[in-house]
A and B are shown apart, each in its own frame.
Chain A
Amino acid sequence: MLNTIMVIIGKVFALAIFAPLVSGIIRKTKNTIRMRNGPSVLQPYYNVRKLFLKDEVISKNASWIFYAAPVIVFAGSICALVLVLMARPGHLVSNSAAILIAAFFVLSLGRFFMALAGLDAGSSFGGMGSSREVFISSFAEPVAFIAIFVFCMGGGDNFRVSGVLAGFALFMVVIAETSRIPVDNQETHLELTMVHEAMVLEYSGRSLALIELASHIKQMVFFIMLSWCLFPAAGTAPWGWAVFSAEIGVIGIAMAFIEISVAKMRLFRTVDFLSFSFFIALAASIASSLGL
């Protein structure tokens, strides 16, 4: 018991530390494909360090929600990581679905406070960002739940049609949840297109550092879930951690390719995007009810 707890704590630390690296790899890949030099893969670490050492500016209108939100977001993403690590496939079927769904609930705790903080400073940028963020995530959540249900019903240890379809649907959800093109764009600060960035516009210094770290970790959480859906058999392979890192890398590079090859959609087209993923998830559930 104690042993398992220590192992999970160790893994959480390791994954949290490597989480910004994944973002760095994605950014580097994008720049390489665009024939640019770009910053090093370690740039996300430099950013976080810089932000932690800076003073922060806080709006005069803000209340305690504004201070609390980054801490809660960070704690929520750590907790989601813990839960996902507890839910390794191959365990009892129902339990892993239960824990994965709880992980989504924990992430929505952070999102709730972040969206409130967006409204707190009284700037319309923040309000716009909050509104759009909760809009997108409320349509993404049902798809993610179906995908998790279908995946966990398959048992998660060998290749199934339903699992792959669920993985595909989950991939589209992950694009939306990690604010990537075509749903959102992490690199923009143009008011018409910002979603997540608009919500956190008022933040600076160590609070912003926490928020950035939290989004790297959240991305890691989603990539872990994806790796289970898309590479079900790999979990049992020898050299587990190496295989796992390779999987995460492959998913990250695939994400980078998608980001540079499509244009960002209008906000209201994301509903179409997510309803498409909903129907794929539904197809996955039909496949699973046929025993595929």
Chain B
Amino acid sequence: MITFLPKEFFLFDSLTIFFFAVIGLICIPSAIFSIGYLREEALKKKLISWALLAAFILSMCFVVISGNLFSFLIFWELMSLTSYFLVVLDYKHEKSIRAGTIYLVMTHIGTACLMAAFFILYNYAGSFDYSAVKEAAFALPPNIRNIIFLLLFIGFATKAGVVPMHIWLPYAHPQAPSYVSSIMSGVMIKIAVYGMIRFFVMLLLPAPAWWGAVILVFGIISCLVGVIYALMDHDLKKLLAYHSVENIGIILLGVGAAIFFAARGVIPVAALAMCAALYHLVNHALFKGLLFLCSGSVYKATGLRNIEKMGGLIKTMPATALFFLIGAMGISALPPLNGFVSEWLTFQAFFSGAVESQGAVRIFMIVSAAALALTGGLAAACFVKAFGITFLALPRSAHAREAKETGFMMKTGMALLAVPVVIFGVGAGFIAPVILRVSRAVLGVQNVEVSLYLASVLPVLIAVVVLGTALAVFLWFRFGLRTGQVRYNTWDCGYYALDSRTEYTATAFSKPFRIAFSFFLLPYHKSEKMRDSFYHVSKFMYETHTTLVFRKFFYEPLVRLVYSFAWKVRKLQPGSIHLYILYIFITLVGLIALAAIF
């Protein structure tokens, strides 16, 4: 009889059902989108893509319903590997291979941490089952609990793309086909958040307050760093990937605050914060999935990912533009769409947390709220850039000029995500209580009264007032005030030669931010003059770049260290068979000696 095999294979509680809903909400539209996206591919590639996609989605489902550490780990690894193969699907590009390698290395560092934590837990619980783990967790020595927390946090944070473990995300997500990016960004990184909630809130009880504080601080760092990098990036998919880092940060703000206040015994605030986090989780899945699908649609139509070469697509691709606008409004937290409700709930959690506490905690909550406000402002700025440069004004290249609207299947996929973005905003009155119930169940506090304040009324009120006023103005313009309209050239100061080259660019748009955050971005410039003669410059090149701080000052030295160590180890392996026989002999003697001792 093998004793370590778990007895509880599956688990169905509110949290798993919630995550099942999230997986279904995103994966079905993405799969429909993939039919259109892969239409011109060869049958073999289609089959491989869909088989991998199905395996990927299934493995995510199984991670969520696993009832024990063992199968959690197996399906977690399966999820990582299938998504790796989806990233390198386009294996002829060197970029894909590179992105895949970074992803594979980072995700396995995370998995290694998880494995270590799970084995420590197994050691104490004597079983892989969640119920045994939960029971054993109460009796764990504090330092062991903290080590387990740190290992699990590193493991999950790597998968979630929390700064500074985000390094793989802006490479892997853009390189995958768009329907996969939408699932990876929309759902897969949320599975890591599932892991955090499952272990820190539901299994390793009671969680001390500083765990929550750590998660909160990493959330703040992630959301600020993510959005600043997103502002600087002009590759449409990479920009969206950085926004995933930002939004994971926002979700962690809620999760961290929930753990923090649950530990301090302020249960209503904890439930509100958890509700905000879960709400933002499903919202981010919706609008990020939508935005990635839109970027795929733009990529199919133009073959471009650099927004500096796009422009004017709202005229040639009106449907894609509208869907992108809805997604952009959602992610910028504009009322009455869904991002507004969840960010506003997060503010509510911070505010009621600040009201309930004194001293340093109150200042901590207020500063967290300020960080969230700054993030929101910068995210809105970034999406003004992303939408404005991509879709508005004049096309900046021939590819953009000749773009055609995408096919029916792709439009259906996008529409299936765009409609919930609106519903989850305006219909918050129906959805917020359901999510609050999940959040209560997660915290195990079904009986505590939690006020959602005006979450159910406010979006509807705003929608009614804004749409009502807009309609009144529109009717007045149409029927009351009949002044004329003239279409003419854009005002050009009498220059008469405005074209797409005189438009504002994304680089110019983000320049104020580049200067304001220069202490972090460390921008540098390169300029080069090519001369015909001393007096005449024929060509002038000017480039501006920003330094990726974490990569340059942390990962690159680390990789160099690993390489130099590897070079040293290499001396052990000179290729002489005699030496290898000697190694075998020494090992054998060593083992016999060991066996003799024990």
B-facing mask of A75-102, CB < 8 A → 1, else 0? 1101100110000000001110111011
Q: B488: CB under 8 A from chain A?
A: yes
Choose from A56, A108, A288 the contact partner of B486 (Cβ within 8 Å): A56
Q: A175: CB under 8 A from chain B?
A: no
B32 to chain A, nearest CB (A): 27
Given A63-B314, A71-B470, A202-B491, also A127-B504 (CB < 8 A): yes
Q: A131: CB under 8 A from chain B?
A: yes
Cβ A78 vs Cβ B509 within 8 A: no
Q: B389: CB under 8 A from chain A?
A: yes
A-facing mask of B168-199, CB < 8 A → 1, else 0? 00000000000000000000000000000000
A-facing mask of B450-473, CB < 8 A → 1, else 0? 010110001001100111111001
Q: A242: CB under 8 A from chain B?
A: no
Cβ B483 vs Cβ A205 within 8 A: yes
Q: B381: CB under 8 A from chain A?
A: yes
- Kindly list chain B residues whose C-beta atoms are within 8 Å of the C-beta of A48: none
Cβ A112 vs Cβ B516 within 8 A: no
Q: A47: CB under 8 A from chain B?
A: no
Q: A168: CB under 8 A from chain B?
A: no
Cβ B487 vs Cβ A58 within 8 A: yes
Cβ A60 vs Cβ B490 within 8 A: yes
- Kindly list chain B residues whose C-beta atoms are within 8 Å of the C-beta of A106: 335, 462, 466
User: In the complex, what distance in Å separates the CA atom of A84 from the CA atom of B314?
Assistant: 35
Q: B85: CB under 8 A from chain A?
A: no
- Kindly list chain B residues whose C-beta atoms are within 8 Å of the C-beta of A128: 504, 508
Cβ A141 vs Cβ B486 within 8 A: no
Cβ B516 vs Cβ A135 within 8 A: yes
Q: A18: CB under 8 A from chain B?
A: no
Q: B5: CB under 8 A from chain A?
A: no
User: In the complex, what distance in Å separates the CA atom of A30 from the CA atom of B329?
Assistant: 39
A44 to chain B, nearest CB (A): 19
Q: Is the interface of A mostly helix, strand, loop or mixed?
A: helix
Cβ A74 vs Cβ B469 within 8 A: yes
Given A138-B374, A268-B512, A289-B359, also A60-B487 (CB < 8 A): yes
Choose from A94, A111, A131, A205 the contact partner of B504 (Cβ within 8 Å): A131
Cβ A206 vs Cβ B477 within 8 A: yes
A-facing mask of B421-460, CB < 8 A → 1, else 0? 0000000000000000000000000000001011000100
User: In the complex, what distance in Å separates the CA atom of A134 from the CA atom of B371?
Assistant: 17
Q: A244: CB under 8 A from chain B?
A: no
Cβ B359 vs Cβ A122 within 8 A: no
Cβ A109 vs Cβ B377 within 8 A: no
Cβ A109 vs Cβ B466 within 8 A: yes
Q: A11: CB under 8 A from chain B?
A: no
Cβ A93 vs Cβ B355 within 8 A: yes
Q: B503: CB under 8 A from chain A?
A: yes
- Kindly list chain A residues whose C-beta atoms are within 8 Å of the C-beta of B488: 57-60
Which residue, A120, A143, A282, has most C-beta atoms of chain B within 10 A?
A120
Given A115-B388, A119-B388, also A59-B483 (CB < 8 A): no
User: In the complex, what distance in Å separates the CA atom of A137 from the CA atom of B384?
Assistant: 13
Q: B9: CB under 8 A from chain A?
A: no
User: In the complex, what distance in Å separates the CA atom of A170 from the CA atom of B370?
Assistant: 14
- Kindly list chain B residues whose C-beta atoms are within 8 Å of the C-beta of A289: 358-360, 362-363
Q: A124: CB under 8 A from chain B?
A: yes
Q: How many A-B residue pairs have CB under 8 A?
A: 254
Contact segment of B100-108, B343-351, B542-550: B343-351
Given A72-B466, A142-B373, also A119-B392 (CB < 8 A): yes
Q: Is the interface of B mostly helix, strand, loop or mixed?
A: helix
Cβ B458 vs Cβ A99 within 8 A: yes
Cβ B334 vs Cβ A138 within 8 A: no
Which chain B residue lies CB-closest to A93? B355
Query: For this complex, into which size category does the number of interface residues on chain B fall?
Result: 35 or more
A45 to chain B, nearest CB (A): 16
Q: B485: CB under 8 A from chain A?
A: yes
Which chain A residue lies CB-closest to B376? A141
- Kindly list chain B residues whose C-beta atoms are within 8 Å of the C-beta of A210: 473
Cβ B369 vs Cβ A146 within 8 A: yes
Cβ A119 vs Cβ B486 within 8 A: no
Choose from B335, B360, B381 the contact partner of A102 (Cβ within 8 Å): B335
Q: Which of A26-57 contact B (CB under 8 A)?
A: 52-57
Q: B52: CB under 8 A from chain A?
A: no
Choose from A64, A72, A149, A291 the contact partner of B470 (Cβ within 8 Å): A72
Cβ B491 vs Cβ A94 within 8 A: no
Cβ A94 vs Cβ B485 within 8 A: no
B496 to chain A, nearest CB (A): 13
Cβ B371 vs Cβ A126 within 8 A: no
Which chain B residue lies CB-closest to A267? B512
Q: B387: CB under 8 A from chain A?
A: yes
- Kindly list chain B residues whose C-beta atoms are within 8 Å of the C-beta of A150: 366
Q: B277: CB under 8 A from chain A?
A: no
Which chain A residue lies CB-closest to B451? A94
Q: B515: CB under 8 A from chain A?
A: yes
Q: Which of A149-185 contact B (CB under 8 A)?
A: 149-150, 152-153
Which chain B residue lies CB-closest to A120? B392
- Kindly list chain B residues whose C-beta atoms are within 8 Å of the C-beta of A71: 470, 473-474
Cβ A55 vs Cβ B490 within 8 A: no
Which residue, B329, B393, B461, B515, has most C-beta atoms of chain A within 10 A?
B393
Cβ B370 vs Cβ A115 within 8 A: no
- Kindly list chain A residues whose C-beta atoms are within 8 Å of the C-beta of B367: 282, 285
B495 to chain A, nearest CB (A): 11
Cβ A141 vs Cβ B363 within 8 A: no
User: In the complex, what distance in Å separates the CA atom of A111 from the CA atom of B453?
Assistant: 26
- Kindly list chain A residues whose C-beta atoms are within 8 Å of the C-beta of B509: 119, 127, 130-131
- Kindly list chain A residues whose C-beta atoms are within 8 Å of the C-beta of B490: 59-61, 121-123, 202
Which chain A residue lies CB-closest to B388? A119
Which residue, B344, B490, B492, has most C-beta atoms of chain A within 10 A?
B490
Q: A116: CB under 8 A from chain B?
A: yes
B453 to chain A, nearest CB (A): 5
Q: A286: CB under 8 A from chain B?
A: yes
- Give me 4 other A-B pairs in contact (C-beta within 8 A), A63-B392, A122-B503, A149-B369 excluded: A98-B453, A131-B508, A131-B509, A202-B490
Pairs A–B under 8 Å by Cβ, sample size 12: A59-B489, A75-B470, A79-B465, A98-B344, A102-B454, A109-B335, A119-B392, A122-B394, A124-B503, A128-B504, A139-B374, A282-B367
| A-B complex: 3 closest residue pairs judged by Cβ atoms | A127-B504, A138-B377, A119-B388
Report A's interface with B, CB cutoff 8 A: 52-61, 63-65, 71-72, 74-76, 78-79, 82-83, 93-95, 97-99, 101-102, 105-106, 108-109, 111-112, 115-116, 118-128, 130-132, 134-135, 137-146, 149-150, 152-153, 201-202, 205-206, 210, 267-268, 271, 278, 281-282, 285-286, 288-291
